[in-house]
Amino acid sequence: MGSIADIAAALAAIPGPQLRAVRATLDAESVIVPALLTWLDEATRWEIERRAGSCDELLDPRTAIGQSDLECSLVVLAILHAPYRNVAGVADFLDATAEVLCTRAVESPHGVH
């Protein structure tokens, strides 16, 4: 199953210009779960700051995205994946995020079936 380390590794593999392009796309996105959008924005900001020498901890998306938004978040991640499937590292980042969220669904007694 996915882990925060997998997400961090996927973020680290995204070249700088693509990472900034993802942030710009997220800023312009209108059909998205607010908690997911906030977490994706924070994760990309975290990676940009990590590259600049910051050593803050990456927040677990399961903490940021409530159980009620889980299913919609997974759908949105799948939708976002399509235009980024050939962009270095971005699809892996979205996949790793979805895997971590799926971990919650499997572990939770009230998870998505």
pLDDT tens track for 52-108? 999 889 999 999 998 889 999 999 999 888 888 888 799 999 999 999 999 865 554
Q: How far apart (Å, rounded) are the C-alpha atoms in residues 95 and 80?
A: 10
Question: Within a domain: residue 113?
Answer: no
Q: Domain for residue 15, yes or no?
A: yes
Residue 27 forms part of a structural domain? yes
Give Dmax over CA atoms of the chain in angstroms.
41
pTM (2 d.p.): 0.81
Residue 112 placed within a domain: no
Using CA atoms, how far residue 15 sits from 1, 46, 102, in Å, is 25, 14, 26
Which range marks the domain in which residue 63 is found?
4-107
Q: How much is the average pLDDT of 29-41?
A: 84
Q: How many domains does the chain have?
A: 1
For 80, how many CA atoms within 13 A lie in the half-sphere containing its CB?
Answer: 27
Q: What DSSP character marks residue 32?
A: S
